[in-house]
Amino acid sequence: MQFSHSKLLINLKNLKNNYQVIKNFCKGSICSAVVKANAYGLGDAEISKFLIKNGCNDFWVANISEALRIKQSISKINIYVFNGLNKGEEELFYNNNLIPVINTFDQFQRWTSFLSKKNSYDKLIIQFDTGMCRSGIQFNEVEKLKQNRKMLNKFKDVILMTHLACADDKHNEYNLLQKKRFLKISKEFPGYRYSLAASGGIFLGKDYHLDMVRPGIALYGGRLFFNKKLKNVVSLNSPVIQFNQLKKNETAGYSRTYKTNKNILTATIPLGYADGIKIGISNKGFVYYGSTKLPMIGRISMDLMIINVTKVKDKIRVGDHLEIFGENFKLDNFAKLSNTLPYDIITSVSERCRRVYVN
């Protein structure tokens, strides 16, 4: 098995480091964790359990299915569901002690009406749209919500939140505009807790931290430029399953997009676009064998990739693993080469790639 499967190596020591770096950077704020999309492809239950051991008790997912999967193995944590409360889900949320992020006034009415019948007023979280124009209470609904302060005040814990559109760019003035809009809303709803920053917003400064921060990609080794203390967490490796001797002027891969100009040795590895590798890096990407950089050649196939291993022909063997991204070539750099974002890369790594937790 170890010689036939690609592996996504997840460095738990570095994950712990990143969580502590963020937590220390946001002293005075609760440091939660975003584990949506199967913890960005790393395994939501496993990652959540590990972060719980390191002091995290608040987790964010996209939908109720993700929340229920985590709840199967972990019970006493707060799980907030970004996509909110859809019709008919009230019992499911309530019976499983899940917390929907209220994104519309209609959701607010339905959820508070349901909870009133249960006489249950524990946690309530409401998102305001301050400029993302995607999810959250709209400005024309704020007044309606203000008229329901009596209902809001019944809850033991109320969190108001928003989401920044341009937090990856610390010089973007839209960050300041959204912060001002949210702080204005917070003044209209005093006495609660407030959450403004996800990964990028955290490193915009302490003015963005408020009561709770919501790191996601920064935990998992993406966007390392946010802070020099953050470390790489994921490495994608794939084993050599076959060698081929190509003579000068032979071609490799579909549509014969690569032609040799001399005799070379190639290796085939079981990794392709069905595993999340973007076809756009065909003939321009590379992998590492130890510290040696080796070019991808030919068009990326659904399940396979061809590598020119002539540089290491005297020592490479079937079963040896090549690194696609990781310590030698960080996730951010691989994403840039692939003309996409690190979020896209790690959430696209297929289940065919075995998740291996190290350190």
Query: pLDDT confidence of 3, banded at 50, 70, 90?
Result: low
CATH topology of domain 234-358: Lyase, Ornithine Decarboxylase; Chain A, domain 1 (2.40.37)
State how far the Cα of 206 lies from the Cα of 197, in Å rounded to an integer. Answer: 10
User: How far is the C-alpha of 275 from the C-alpha of 354, rounded, in Å?
Assistant: 11
Q: Is 36 designated active site?
A: yes
- Residue pair 286/271 in contact (Cβ under 8 Å)? The answer is no
Instruction: Indicate which residue of 16, 36, 179, 330 is catalytic.
Output: 36
User: Of 13, 118, 248, 254, which is the active-site residue?
Assistant: 254
**d(C-alpha 90, C-alpha 152), whole Å:** 18
Looking up tokens 């907030």 gives 80
The topology under which CATH files domain 12-223 is TIM Barrel (3.20.20)
CA 20 to CA 8: how far, in whole Å? 23
- What is this structure's pTM? 0.96
User: Nearest Cα to 140, choosing from 129, 124, 151, 126?
Assistant: 129
Q: Is 254 a catalytic residue?
A: yes
Q: What is the pLDDT of residues 109-129, one digit of tens each?
A: 999 999 999 999 999 999 999
Domain boundaries, the chain: 12-223, 234-358
When pLDDT is cut at 50, 70 and 90, the band that residue 4 belongs to is confident
Q: What is the pLDDT of residues 262-318, one digit of tens each?
A: 999 999 999 999 999 999 999 999 999 999 999 999 999 999 999 999 999 999 999
